[in-house]
Amino acid sequence: MLAPRALPKNAVAPLTFLLLLCAAAPAFSQQPQKLTLPDALQMAERQNLDLIAARAQRAVSNAGVQIAKQRPNPTGNVNVLRDDPHEGWWFDQPIDVSGKRKRRIELAQSETVLTDDDISALERQTRQSVRDAFFALALARSTTAEKQDALTLAQRLHDIADARFHAGDVPQLEVIQADLEVSQSQADYQVAQQEEKVAQSDLNTLLNEPSGTTWDLVTPLDQIPTALVLGDLLARADNANPDLQKISQEEKIEENNRELLRAESIPNLTLSAGVDYYSPHNFRYGPRSQATMEVPIFSRNQGEVAESSATLIALGDQEHATRRVVEGHVESGYLNLQTREQQARLYKDSLVPAADKLEELAEESYRAGKANILYLLDAQKNVQAVKEEYLQSLFAVHQAFAQLEEIVGTPLD
């Protein structure tokens, strides 16, 4: 039996390097990628599966235009009779004399624009969802950091209580209470970590990224959007609101449909041309031709045209009502955004600093033996509640901004 051969010395170093590289590859692949809010919005614009599926409908709409451009085929006829002439053939060709084909093309093209409007509306909804998911992850990250700070604070409190117990200053009950606070903080921290994973998964789904992708969010949660002007928002919504755009395009479609109905009230002219054969007493063969047209005496699409006109009136009334609703939503969304911004500034400038000061004083009082542990725990819970409400107020600002942007129908930053 042959003994295994040893590797040459000069092959050991490259092999070791290769093994280390393979072992480090997963670690490199798991490094968080930097992501700003504009980057996330652009990524969703390119990769979101709902948008990709919706854009595929453009091909369907374009095919409808091609269908509208088609012309009618001629009809071939052949007869063999006992009567004179015994044989013959001819072709019938319908001729459009009222521009029906042109009207069909215009109608199909206007329906294509409506498809584009639907895609644009979905793009705006996706933009809102991505913005919400981005800052939801930022909120979850900030909440996890706060819970970690709370856990560190609870552990420090436990050490203080344990030291005072061994010094004979406090009963063991306070140590047990501190232990309970550490356990509760540990549980809250673990729950916050799981909620952060859920928020990250939601963002990856919208961006169509692998589930294990992690992000280093560059745009901070406390970045307040730029100031907006109500008059400017109303003017932009009048031109870009998706509901108003859809109704406006539906009016154009109905106008084109009415013109098509009027064109169809004039029948096509059918021209026939061919040759007859073998009429023994008259001719051996001879040309034949014919022109026919339906006489529009009773039906001229009067009912359909009247229905289309009534639909146009209804769409006009609906447009006026929708415009007023949109103006109201823009105004209420603007005021809601202002309220959320004022709330966030109040927490940042007054409540959070006051809560931090309260926590510091309570801990100093407990160290000096001037307060019991229940007072300190209550102060810490109040501080944590204020900080959580501050984070929620920041998230509410971004939610209000995203809702206002979706109502207006155009990017606002």
Q: CA distances (Å), 371 to each of 117, 163, 361, in order?
A: 65, 15, 10
Residue 66 has pLDDT above 60, yes or no: yes
pLDDT tens, position by position, 9-32: 454 444 444 444 444 444 434 688
Are the C-beta atoms of residues 301 and 119 closer than 8 Å to each other? no
Residue whose token pair is 């005072």: 164
Q: 29-408 is classed in which CATH architecture?
A: Up-down Bundle (1.20)
**pLDDT single digits (tens) 329-353:** 999 999 999 999 999 999 999 999 9
**Lowest pLDDT segment from 29-38, 92-101, 277-286, 357-366:** 277-286
Q: How far is CA 247 from CA 55, 196, 200, 250, in A?
A: 20, 41, 37, 5
Cα separation, 124 vs 241, in Å, equals 10
Q: Examine residue 85 and say whether the peptide bond preceding it is cis (omega within 30 degrees of 0).
A: yes
Q: Please, are residues 109 and 292 in contact by the beta-carbon 8 Å criterion?
A: no
**Residue in this structure with the two tokens 């895609």, named with its chain if needed:** 119
Distance between CA atoms of 223 and 208, rounded to whole angstroms?
Answer: 26
Q: What is the pTM of this model?
A: 0.82
Sheet containing 269-279: order of strands:
75-80, 87-95, 269-279, 283-293
